[in-house]
Amino acid sequence: MPESNRTIDDLMSLVGSSYASPDLDLLSRAYATAEGAHRDKVRLTGDPYIVHPLAVAYKLAEMGAHVNVIAAGLLHDVIEDSEISLNEVRSSFGDDIASLVDSVTKLKKVKYQGTDRYVENLRKMFLAMASDVRVVFIKFADRLHNLRTLYAQPRHKQERIAKETLEIYAPIAGRLGMSDFKGELEDLSFAYLFPKDYERVHDIISTKVREKGAYVSRVIDQTEKLLAEAGFVDCQVHGRVKRLYSLYRKLIKYDNDLSKIYDLIAVRAVVKDVEDCYAVLGLIHQKWTPLPGRIKDYLSQPKPNGYQSLHTTVFTEDGETIEFQIRTREMHDLAEYGVAAHWRYKEPGMSPIKNLYWMEELAKIQKELSDKKDFLEQLEIMKIDVFKDRLFVFTPNGDVIDLPEGATPVDFAYAIHTEVGNKCSGARINGNIVNLDTPLRSNDVVEIVMDKNRRGPNADWLKFAKTHHARSKIKDATRSTVKGWLSSMMRRG
């Protein structure tokens, strides 16, 4: 479906109204350069090419990205598509913007076709993420607009782009806590890859919104009245409809039993601070009966990607169930835009953004795997490390360790420290002694039993270790043990 195009006036209006003292002259100059560079080009939709960089820049502005990132969004195609050089961009707009434009351009310069193209694209994206995550924000906004205009592409390209988005881009957005991006990338891809399922899920949502719309509106009105009477003035209450692809995956999980899905339509309360979050939860539970086992506190125990919120499902007066999500404004922005939203709140002296260590780990892997064949062979391990669902488990001291689904105590031990892994002789989960190949579950408390006299890990651990880090450390240690044993045998001989 064609979408309405953004103009430079739309962009300037958005930035001017939502940014404090923005450099509008910078954006005006960046637009003039981009408009000149793309003047004679037309997209497959029939629109002038400039509508694409404008859409990318507008999305970045909606995210609250720095003005330099918005300017780079306007300029992200000029080096590839015109005679303008990187040095000219640097001379006109400075090192920071030139570096961003250069990185986005390098992500697009893929010389290979088929599998090679796919692998090279992955490698470059990972390296870009580790060096400057802002490059990924631009790339996501670029991909989002290309998906919105995918109807103009031939069928084989639609499927390739949608598949790549669903397998690579959306999971990375999820790991960065960017649920707004993740949801939109998934839904747009879903429509092209599984059109019949898309229509079926779309019909379910449309029907439920029609059936429950008035009821949810009443609950919102009651909640607003409840909070106003309790003296909460600085708060917002609104409805949230579940994303289509997210619902599709839940339906698969529950054998298409819609009655087991409680968050089809949720009510979200955005309040001033953490104290208000818990106070509002108490008020909601006083008015409506909570459903046992459905209260989730992601404030005291955030998800690995930084997501924080209170969730509860309640029975309303007419016997219906509805989920409430309660969070602060900052938590809401972080839930929508993840690490991108940190820039809105970043002050001088703030500590670095958490949970991005895995990007640096990925970059390390890419640099080690200079051979493309090697890289392809490692791709499945990397998918386990990065793209699978994550779980978080606790040390006895309460520290959170972020691991992939299916991880074992051995993965946990190596995530703590190489020596803890190498000297591991057993494990306790929630106080119970378990085998080292036992799969961990979120919220488990894991204690590693160490043997200081142990010479190193068991090579058999490779049969169940999941993370790249654990597997590489086990291989290194067992390799050196075998070499040492051979040397001692040769000395004896």
Which residues does the annotation mark as catalytic?
A: 80-81
Question: Cα–Cα distance between 421 and 396 in angstroms, integer?
Answer: 16
Q: Which two tokens stand for residue 167?
A: 């397998």
Q: What does the DSSP assignment read for 402-450?
A: EEETT--HHHHHHHH-HHHHHTEEEEEETTEEE-TTPPP-TT-BEEEEE
Question: Cα–Cα distance between 225 and 219 in angstroms, integer?
Answer: 10
Query: Of the candidates 253, 220, 252, 256, which has an alpha carbon nearest to the alpha carbon of residue 238?
Result: 220
Question: Cα–Cα distance between 147 and 166 in angstroms, integer?
Answer: 11
Question: Cα–Cα distance between 62 and 187 in angstroms, integer?
Answer: 19
User: CA dihedral in degrees (326, 330, 331, 333; nearest 10)?
Assistant: 110
Classify residue 42 by its DSSP letter: B
The residues near 172 (Cβ < 8 Å, ≥ 6 apart) are 125, 129, 136, 386, 387
Query: Of the candidates 454, 386, 443, 472, which has an alpha carbon nearest to the alpha carbon of residue 172?
Result: 386
How many whole angstroms from its chain centre is CA 451?
Answer: 38
Q: What angle do CA 320, 298, 332 make, to 5 degrees?
A: 80
Question: Cα–Cα distance between 422 and 456 in angstroms, integer?
Answer: 5
H-helix segments, 64-132: 67-75, 78-81, 86-93, 95-108, 114-131
Strand ranges (DSSP E) for 231-339?
Answer: 236-241, 265-271, 289-290, 296-297, 310-315, 321-328
For residue 298, the tally of other CB atoms under 10 A from its CB is 17
From residue 149, how far is each of 5, 196, 288, 464 by CA, in Å? 11, 20, 45, 43
